[in-house]
Amino acid sequence: MKLVCIKCNGKKFWKLSNGEYRCKVCRKDIKPRLVVGMKLTKRQWIKLIDLYFLGANGPALKEKLGMSLVTINKALRILRTCMALDVPDIFSGTVEVDETYLGGQWKNKRKSVKKNQIVSKRGLGTTKQPAFGILARNGQVWAELVEGVEARDLMPLITKQVKSGVKVCSDTWRAYTGLAAKGYVHRTVDHGEKEYVRGKNHINGLEGFWGFLKRKLASKGGVRRLYLPLFLGEYVWRYNHRDMSLMEKRNELLALIFDQFGARY
């Protein structure tokens, strides 16, 4: 937890038995809050996080916690921001890479969107949001929204997130052609020829994550593109921590909040 004394800017404290902290420089006692601008107690945060992981939406959280919807939405944005910032370490071993497009069906889009947009095509040339993902065979995934799906867009992400020399499985999309020249062991499957597995070469794990992500986004009734990075970060985090208990997830998320949003007093 990052504490800074509002009186003397001191950063060293004693923890008192009543849960407060005393500055070692000026002896000022402070009562910590989890996040700047959020007047929620630790007990309220714990209850909110537990309900959130159990699937409660904003209106349900408002009813159960007795908070305003504005406060609930702000707290949820903070949780999703923490999840999005919790990026896995550089991948090694065998990894899978793939791109996809996020966006609901045309018939389900709002009238304001349809008015200013032509009917979206499938695949290359679509008006949907492209996303790129990397999955390590240990079950960890990394994903990010991208401007495009050409080599100039994807190759820097692969070299940043994947250790050189490892085995990279992909489909035959042209953006991955230069992987061997970058020092990777490149193996492909040709989806165009209905080939999805060749020995241990496949991208089925990452395809499974894309399915998980799109089902979750669809269950939200659609997500505005402005907030899509936060929701992508949320479901990457949920997928990577899927084997944790509710208590372990809560504690992990509380630690992220302290680390990313340490309050200033």
pTM for this prediction? 0.77
Checking if the pLDDT of 107 tops 50, the result is: no
What's the pLDDT tens digit per position in 62-96?
999 999 999 999 899 989 988 998 989 999 999 99
**Tokens found for residue 215:** 């089902």
According to the model, what pLDDT value does residue 120 have? 47
Please give the single-letter amino acid code of residue 249: K
pLDDT range class, residue 239, cuts 50, 70, 90: very high
Band (114; pLDDT cuts 50, 70, 90): very low
Q: Say yes or no to pLDDT of 3 above 70.
A: no
Looking at residue 1, what is its pLDDT?
46
Helix (H) or strand (E) holding 134: strand 129-136
- 75's enclosing H/E stretch is helix 69-85
| CATH for the 95-222 domain, from 1.10.10, 2.60.120, 3.30.420, 3.40.50 | 3.30.420
Q: What is the pLDDT of residue 221?
A: 82
Domain map (residue ranges) of the chain: 95-222
Q: Each residue of 23-39: pLDDT tens digit?
A: 888 888 876 554 445 67
pLDDT at 191 over 50: yes
Answer positive or negative: Cα dihedral of 3, 7, 10, 13: negative
Three-state DSSP state, 136: strand
Helix H or strand E encompassing 141: strand 141-145
To which residue do tokens 């916690």 refer? 65
Mean pLDDT of the chain: 85
Q: What pLDDT score does 25 carry?
A: 87
How many Cβ atoms from other residues are within 10 Å of residue 210's Cβ? Answer: 20
The mean-pLDDT minimum among 110-119, 152-161, 190-199, 236-245 falls in 110-119
216 φψ region: left (φ > 0), alpha (ψ -120 to 50), beta (else)? alpha
